[in-house]
């Protein structure tokens, strides 16, 4: 039976990224096919992110062996049936040579787990898997070196840049058959879109964890980390949702990037579904739930429970050090929420903002507002009639003040007093923003049950 959803995960593994991948890997083959893990920088440097991905596969294989020896179901069927490609992508933002990592998740991205639990970390031999072979090496020598380099059999290492793997998979697949789930900075996606926009637009949907709309940011007062890390890349990807991508592209000149502009006439618009902090933050994994689920498994010898517990509990400690002592601290499940959406997207409780799709734009140049997600909060109505996308059960909440001013584009496409074309039906982005899920309190226990049984 074919998988309901074929996905690419673009990620910068830290703690919640790893939890998101665990949830995806633990799915049934008929639920998800994981084609590619596209690795980018973000929480830490890209090579540390790659190490965390390889370590995840390594620990899952140990976990499956442990479960098999106990006569249990081994699990992680979607990972096993997919045998995803792992490809390394961008190591810095489009317009900066300096990495924006804040190391909230520790210097290695997983709260020092490679140091604290060395017996659960793979040897460094895997690094050769991602390096081009010597020009003088024979086919047999390359094969032998690869076999020695990695006893891990649950993924396929690519020596091609991640954004090119994304384009290859889209090119070789029917239109609307692959969804990209992006839970890190959008640099890899921006590179793919710039290199071959028509192939990139074959994607069914791009699901993005990023941004803050009506809540404060988590890296600055107004910005969420993934967007802040590469605001230019986010703006470039968002622009593909627009009837006129040039209307929301970052202003030239670009200092470092050599990306070419999008063609004037593209065949279709990008469908992009956004999970901002507004909806992700209330979904938490409580320390008490983690302890209740994992402690008995650790005592029984579960490698995965020991490994996961180590970095999750260290993260709880970090949260408390930055806030106040809590009776039962919670880890915000930002990235895993996007995988829950992929597994349950037909549920009517996944609701879009009432006015979806919304013109959400990204600030790329502000000294203090870089990465801010901006919407037009003026009580002015767009000219003409716009098409509205409704989620199941969504209610249209109209604003009576909108009828006070009806803007019409002038000959140059601008309404009076509307710099930037916010009131134009031919300009601006078209973003589908998720505002509710099947249940904030239900998600943490659901994740633990799906991963650990």
Tens-place pLDDT, residues 15-45: 999 999 999 999 999 999 999 999 999 989 9
Q: Is the pLDDT of residue 206 over 80?
A: yes
- List the Cα angle 113/119/125 in 5-degree steps: 95
Average pLDDT over residues 304-315: 97
Domain 5-283+330-368+430-452 in CATH 3.90.245.10 = yes
pLDDT of residue 3: 79
* Exposure string over 281-299, b if 16+ CB within 10 A, otherwise e: bbbbbbbebbbebbeebbe
Among 249, 252, 254, residue whose Cα is nearest residue 362: 249
pTM for this model (two decimals): 0.91
Average pLDDT over residues 436-452: 97
Tens-place pLDDT, residues 354-365: 999 999 999 998
Q: Say how many CA atoms lie within 13 Å of 429 toward its Cβ.
A: 27
Q: Is the pLDDT of residue 104 over 50?
A: yes
Q: Is 236 helix (H, G, I), strand (E, B) or coil?
A: helix
Q: Is the pLDDT of residue 294 over 50?
A: yes
pLDDT band at 173 (very low <50, low <70, confident <90, very high): very high
Q: Is the pLDDT of residue 267 over 50?
A: yes
Residue in this structure with the two tokens 């502000």, named with its chain if needed:
366
Average pLDDT over residues 367-391: 79
Cis amide leading into 130 (omega within 30): no
pLDDT band at 139 (very low <50, low <70, confident <90, very high): low
pLDDT of residue 178: 98
What are the residues whose beta carbons fall under 8 Å from the beta carbon of 255, sequence distance 6 or more?
95
pLDDT band at 384 (very low <50, low <70, confident <90, very high): low
pLDDT of residue 391: 56
Q: Give the start-to-end residue ranges of the domains of the chain.
A: 5-283+330-368+430-452
Q: Is the pLDDT of residue 216 over 50?
A: yes
């Amino acid at each position: 039976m074919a998988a309901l959803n074929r996905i690419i995960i673009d990620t910068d593994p830290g703690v919640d990224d790893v939890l998101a991948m665990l949830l995806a890997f633990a799915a049934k083959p008929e639920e998800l096919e994981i084609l590619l893990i596209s690795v980018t920088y973000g929480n830490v440097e890209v090579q540390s992110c790659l190490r965390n991905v390889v370590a995840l596969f390594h620990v899952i294989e140990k976990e499956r062996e442990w479960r098999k020896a106990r006569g249990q179901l081994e699990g992680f069927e979607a990972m096993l049936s997919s045998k995803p490609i792992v490809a390394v992508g961008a190591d810095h933002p489009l317009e900066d040579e300096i990495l924006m990592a804040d190391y909230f998740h520790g210097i290695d991205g997983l709260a020092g787990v490679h140091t604290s639990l060395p017996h659960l970390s793979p040897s460094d031999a895997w690094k050769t898997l991602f390096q081009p072979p010597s020009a003088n090496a024979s086919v047999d020598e390359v094969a032998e070196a690869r076999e020695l380099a990695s006893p891990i059999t649950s993924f396929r290492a690519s020596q091609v840049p991640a954004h090119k793997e994304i384009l290859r998979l889209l090119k070789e697949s029917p239109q609307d058959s692959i969804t990209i789930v992006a839970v890190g900075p959008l640099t890899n996606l921006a590179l793919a879109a710039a290199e071959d926009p028509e192939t990139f637009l074959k994607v069914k949907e791009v699901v993005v964890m990023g941004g803050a709309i009506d809540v404060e940011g988590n890296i600055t007062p107004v910005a969420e980390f993934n967007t802040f890390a590469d605001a230019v890349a986010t703006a470039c990807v968002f622009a593909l949702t627009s009837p006129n991508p040039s209307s929301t592209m970052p202003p030239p000149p670009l200092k470092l990037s050599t990306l070419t502009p999008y063609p004037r006439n593209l065949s279709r618009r990008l469908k992009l579904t956004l999970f901002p902090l507004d909806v992700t933050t209330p979904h938490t994994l409580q320390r008490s739930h983690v302890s209740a689920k994992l402690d008995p498994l650790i005592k029984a010898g579960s490698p995965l429970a020991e490994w996961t517990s180590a970095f999750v509990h260290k993260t709880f400690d970090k949260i408390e050090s930055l806030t106040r002592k809590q009776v039962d601290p919670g880890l915000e499940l930002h990235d895993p929420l996007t995988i829950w959406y992929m597994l349950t997207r037909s549920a009517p409780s996944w609701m879009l903002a009432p006015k979806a799709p919304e013109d959400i734009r990204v600030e790329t140049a502000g000294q203090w507002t870089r990465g801010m997600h901006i919407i037009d909060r003026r009580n002015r109505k767009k000219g003409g009639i716009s098409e509205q996308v409704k989620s199941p059960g969504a209610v249209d909440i109209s604003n009576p003040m909108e009828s006070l001013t009806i803007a019409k584009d002038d000959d140059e496409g601008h309404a009076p007093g509307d710099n930037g074309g916010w009131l134009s039906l031919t300009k601006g982005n078209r973003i589908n923003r998720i505002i509710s899920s099947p249940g904030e309190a239900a998600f943490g226990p659901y994740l633990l049950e799906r991963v650990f049984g």
